C-alpha cells in the first residue's frame, strides 16, 4: 500500500512508498481506510529534518497526524464498517505520569508520550492504518469531506475548555474576543468563539485570499493593524501566531480579569521588552496568560460536536487545496493564500 514517509533528521527525504507494509494488528484492532490527511506546519518541520522520530527499530516515519478515514473492521464492535473516524494523535507515556494515568496525555509531565506521524508512532498518510478503539473518534457522516479538520479543532476545543476553567475562578461575563492570526488554528479558534456568541475580532498580517471573508462569515471583524492600534481591550485573547511582538502586544491588551491563551510556537527572533511593565499589568488586572498544546479524548469529542454544529460551506472554504496522494509533492509545497491543504486518498 501507499505511504508518505520521511527519514527523520534528514532534510527533504519526503517520498511516496508504493509497497509500504500493511499496518500490524499490534497498532490497534480498528482497521481504517484513509480518506484524507491534513497538512500543517509541524509536517513542514519534519520534512525539513528539524523534528520527528521514527518508531523504535524503524528508520522511516510515515507522516500525517491530521487524519480522516472509514472503518473497514473493528472486532471489538465499538465501531461499525463505514464509520467515519479520525485517529487521536498522542498516546500516553509508558510510566505513566500523573496526567497520562488519567487520560490527560495532553498534559504529560515527562515528555515520554508518543504521537502518530510525529514521534515514535507511524502516521496517517498511508492507505490503511490501525488504532485501538479508545484512540478512534467517530465523526458525523456529513463531515466526509471535512473531518480532517478534527485534529486542529481538538487543540482549540482544549484551549477553550481551559479558558473557561480559568474564567470560573471568579464571576466572569466575557464579551469581546481577540484572535491573532487567521491561519487554520486562528480560524478554528474564531469558529469556537462565534459558537459561544462573543464579539469577535481577528487580526492578521495580510488581507488576501479567503481569510477576511471567513472571519466576516462568522460575524467577526477582520483587522490588519497591530494589536495596540485596535484601541480596545479584550476579555479573552487567543494568540495563534507565535510572533514575539504580537504575543507581547496580546498580553498587554487584555481587559481586567482577562485571559490570554498562547497557542503559537515561537522560533528564533529575540525582542527587547519591559518585563516589569508586563508584570504590573498582569498583577493589577488579575490577568492570566497560559500556554496550551495538544488535546485529550474529551477535547476530541468536544471538537467533533463543534464541527458537526458548524456551517459545512464555511468549513469547506478553509480547505484551499485538495491534492491526490500520487501528487503528494504539490500538497507539501506551500502556496500563497493556502489555509488548509489536504492530501486525499482515492481508493
User: Where do contacts with Zn ion occur on this chain (CB under 5 A)?
Assistant: 93, 97, 100, 108
Beta bridge partners of 341: 39, 321
For residue 327, what are the contacts with CB-CB under 8 A and spacing of at least 6? none
At closest approach, how far in Å is the CB of 86 from Zn ion? 22
Q: Report which of 281, 277, 271, 212 is spatially closest to residue 246, judged by C-alpha positions.
A: 271
Which C-beta is closer to Zn ion: that of 213 or that of 291?
291
What is the nearest approach in angstroms of Zn ion to the Cβ of residue 113?
6
Minimum gap (Å) between residue 91 Cβ and Zn ion: 10
Smallest gap, in angstroms, from Cβ of residue 97 to Zn ion? 3
The H-assigned helical ranges of the chain are 41-47, 150-167, 184-195, 211-217, 244-252, 275-284, 297-309, 312-318, 328-331
| Residues belonging to the chain | 347
Instruction: Report the residue number, 116 or 211, with the smaller CB distance to Zn ion.
Output: 116
- The minimum distance between CB 111 and Zn ion, in angstroms, equals 8
Tell me the closest approach of the beta carbon of residue 282 to Zn ion, in angstroms: 29
Q: In what order do the strands lie in the sheet with 3-6?
A: 15-17, 3-6, 61-62
Give the nearer residue to Zn ion in terms of CB position, either 37 or 108.
108
Closer to Zn ion at the Cβ: 107 or 179?
Answer: 107
Q: What does residue 160 show for φ and ψ, rounded to 5 degrees? A: -70, -40
Closer residue to Zn ion (CB): 43 or 93: 93
Amino acid at each position: 500500500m501507499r505511504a508518505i514517509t520521511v527519514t527523520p533528521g534528514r532534510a527533504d527525504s519526503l517520498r511516496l512508498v508504493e509497497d509500504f507494509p500493511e499496518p500490524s494488528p499490534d497498532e490497534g484492532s480498528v482497521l481504517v481506510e484513509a480518506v484524507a490527511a491534513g497538512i500543517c506546519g509541524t509536517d513542514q518541520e519534519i520534512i525539513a529534518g528539524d523534528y520527528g522520530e521514527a518508531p523504535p527499530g524503524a528508520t522511516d516515519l510515515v507522516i500525517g497526524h491530521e487524519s480522516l478515514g472509514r472503518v473497514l473492521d473493528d472486532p471489538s464492535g465499538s465501531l461499525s464498517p463505514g464509520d467515519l473516524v479520525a485517529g487521536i494523535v498522542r498516546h500516553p507515556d509508558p510510566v505513566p505520569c500523573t496526567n497520562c494515568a488519567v487520560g490527560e496525555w495532553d498534559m504529560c509531565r515527562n515528555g515520554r508520550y508518543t504521537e502518530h506521524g510525529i514521534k515514535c508512532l507511524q502516521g496517517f498518510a498511508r492507505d490503511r492504518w490501525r488504532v485501538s478503539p479508545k484512540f478512534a473518534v467517530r465523526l458525523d457522516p456529513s463531515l466526509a469531506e471535512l473531518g480532517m479538520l478534527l485534529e486542529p479543532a481538538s487543540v482549540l476545543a482544549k484551549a477553550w475548555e481551559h479558558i473557561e476553567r480559568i474564567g470560573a475562578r471568579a464571576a466572569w461575563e466575557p464579551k469581546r474576543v481577540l484572535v491573532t492570526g487567521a491561519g487554520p488554528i486562528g480560524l478554528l479558534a474564531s469558529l469556537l468563539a462565534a459558537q459561544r456568541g462573543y464579539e469577535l475580532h481577528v487580526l492578521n498580517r495580510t488581507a488576501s485570499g479567503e481569510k477576511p471573508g471567513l472571519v466576516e462569515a462568522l460575524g467577526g471583524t477582520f483587522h490588519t493593524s497591530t494589536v495596540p492600534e485596535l484601541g480596545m481591550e479584550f476579555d479573552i485573547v487567543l494568540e495563534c501566531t507565535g510572533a514575539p511582538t504580537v504575543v507581547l502586544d496580546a498580553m498587554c491588551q487584555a481587559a481586567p480579569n482577562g485571559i490570554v491563551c498562547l497557542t503559537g510556537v515561537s522560533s528564533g527572533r529575540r525582542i527587547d521588552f519591559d518585563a516589569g511593565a508586563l508584570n504590573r499589568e498582569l498583577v493589577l488586572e488579575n490577568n492570566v496568560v497560559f500556554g496550551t498544546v495538544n488535546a485529550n479524548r474529551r477535547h476530541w469529542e468536544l471538537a467533533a460536536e463543534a464541527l458537526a454544529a458548524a456551517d459545512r460551506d464555511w468549513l469547506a472554504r478553509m480547505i484551499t487545496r485538495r491534492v491526490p496522494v500520487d501528487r503528494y509533492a504539490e500538497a507539501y509545497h506551500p502556496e500563497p493564500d493556502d489555509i488548509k491543504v489536504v492530501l486525499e486518498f482515492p481508493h
